[in-house]
Each structure stands twice: as C-alpha cells, then as structure tokens.
C-alpha cells in the first residue's frame, strides 16, 4: 500500500495542504481518532479503489502522477541502487533467495528486485487488485515465482500464518507514512524482524518529523490525508528499530524528490 504525492502548485494541492494543517491542528489540541477507527478507514481506502488518487498512491504504472514519464520505473531503480549501497555498508553478502516486500502496491519496486530473487518474491498488501497488478508486472520482466499475501489492516500479525519461511531481504518503501499510527508501525517492524532471517537486511523508508508541528503524526481523518498519517523523528525511529531487535546500519536522507519530501531510508540488519 505505498503512497506518494507529487508537488504540483495547483488549487487542489493548496487545498490539500490546508486540510492537512487543519487536521494536524485538531490533533495538536487532542482531537484525535482512535487507532481502531483509523485502521478501519485505511482498510476501506486501500481495499476498494474509489478515487482518482488511488492508483497514484498505490504506485500503479498507469497512475496519473506517473503520466508518460519513466518515473514509475525510476522509483524502483533508485531503490535497488540504494539497497546495494546499504548492503555494502552493512557487509551484506548472502544470496537473495527470498525477498519480501510489505506494501508492494503496483510493483514499482518488485520489477527491479524480483529478477534477483533466486527462489521467490513475496508481495504483501491490503489490496487484492494491487497484488494482481504487481504479479502481472513481475511476470512481465522475469520468471521468478511471485507469491501475493493479502492482509487486513486490523490484523497485520496474520501475515505470519502465510510467510512461514525466513526471507533474506525485507523491503518496506512508501508505506510507513500511510500506516494508521506510529504505534502501528512498531507492530510492522516487529513482524519484519520475525520474517527476516539472521544475517538478513531490511530497507525501511519513513517520512520524518523535522520538528515543525505540521510534520507531526496526523492521527485523524485517514482518507483525506493518506500520505500524511505517520511520521517519526529520525533518531526516534533508529531507537525504535533497536527495540524491535534490529541493528541499524545506516540512514540515507532524501529531503525532497519528485513525489514528496522528508524521506529517510533505514538499513536494518538482523
């Protein structure tokens, strides 16, 4: 269930920023929604395509945000290069037998990583439509077996019933920002640690809190601000990863790109 939002100086974009400020203001004075309510809204949003932003937020190749450009393929290519840099940093040299991507969406990352998996590529997502699209995209570039695992937002731990063999690489990109709450993100990190083999490497991207109140976790009105829901201070996420059992190996920051801003990529080993 990846997400992105391109910076375009339009009235619609300005209205989105105004809504974001309004909801964060309400959250600041304590008018937040429960995680149960936010999770239900997230499940409803991702499971059933309902608006013109859904394909963009799910990173489908034919999403309007990608137009006729090479940006869709460029996203995954950059992430593969980024992973190689992190692998060298962490001295990660084991074979890439099984790769798991949490929130595979329409396959922007999968088409670059799956050809390098020797046994299988496992895509985890809330949306059956996105899993089917991701599988189609993978089959278009390689013969690596693709296994799609559909989960419910309210029960992410159910993934362990389906992914029972450890993976060498765990990916989670453009996803943590759309999780219901920062606390929910801790659950996903613990699941990642469970699924990753000893000696494996995870690449997890977050949207970071830079200290301004407008960069704080939103905690309300999920559907009107999908990519604005969850943020972490950079040092705070490093410490959270440690509490979940990971060894943080390094961070790469992207203050802004064609899709959004305040991205931090963490390399986490087990």
Residue 181 placed within a domain: yes
DSSP-based three-state secondary structure for 229: coil
Residue 2 placed within a domain: no
CATH number, domain with residue 106? 3.40.50.150
Residue 84 placed within a domain: yes
CB 132 within 8 A of CB 95: no
The total number of structural domains that make up the chain: 1
DSSP code for 227: G
Residue 4 placed within a domain: no
Residue 132 placed within a domain: yes
CA dihedral 126, 95, 138, 101 (to 10 degrees): 10
CB 218 within 8 A of CB 24: yes
**pLDDT by residue for the chain (270 residues), tens digit each?**
665 444 444 566 677 667 777 777 777 777 788 999 999 999 999 988 877 789 999 999 999 999 778 999 999 999 999 999 999 999 999 999 999 999 999 999 999 999 999 999 999 999 999 999 999 999 999 999 999 999 999 999 999 999 999 999 999 999 999 999 999 999 999 999 999 999 999 999 999 999 998 899 989 989 888 988 999 999 999 999 999 999 999 999 999 999 899 999 999 999
pLDDT value for 194: 98
Domain ranges, residue 208 = 11-269
DSSP code for 62: T
Residue 6 placed within a domain: no
The H or E element spanning position 41 is helix 35-47
Residue 83 placed within a domain: yes
pLDDT value for 25: 74
């Amino acid at each position: 269930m990846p997400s992105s939002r391109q910076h375009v100086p339009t009235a619609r974009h300005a209205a989105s920023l105004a809504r974001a400020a309004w909801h964060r203001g309400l959250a600041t004075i304590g008018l937040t929604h429960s995680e149960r309510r936010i999770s239900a809204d997230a499940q409803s949003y991702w499971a059933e395509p309902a608006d013109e932003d859904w394909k963009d937020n799910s990173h489908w190749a034919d999403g309007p945000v990608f137009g006729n450009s090479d940006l869709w393929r460029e996203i995954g290519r950059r992430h593969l290069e980024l992973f190689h840099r992190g692998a060298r940093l962490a001295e990660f040299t084991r074979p890439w037998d099984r790769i798991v991507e949490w929130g595979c969406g329409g396959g922007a990352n999968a088409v670059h990583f799956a050809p390098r998996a020797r046994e299988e590529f496992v895509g985890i997502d809330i949306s059956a439509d996105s899993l089917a699209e991701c599988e189609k995209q993978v089959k278009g570039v390689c013969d690596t077996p693709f296994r799609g695992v559909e989960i419910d937002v309210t029960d992410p731990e159910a993934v362990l019933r389906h992914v029972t063999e450890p993976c060498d690489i765990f990916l989670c990109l453009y996803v943590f920002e759309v999780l219901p709450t920062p606390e929910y993100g801790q659950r996903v990190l613990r699941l990642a640690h469970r699924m990753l083999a000893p000696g494996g490497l995870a690449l997890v991207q977050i949207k970071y809190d830079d200290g301004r109140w407008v960069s704080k976790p939103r905690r309300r009105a999920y559907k009107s601000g999908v990519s604005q829901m969850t943020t972490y201070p950079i040092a705070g996420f490093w410490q959270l990863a440690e509490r979940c059992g990971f060894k943080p190996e390094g961070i790469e920051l992207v203050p802004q790109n064609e899709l959004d801003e305040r991205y931090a990529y963490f390399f986490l080993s087990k």
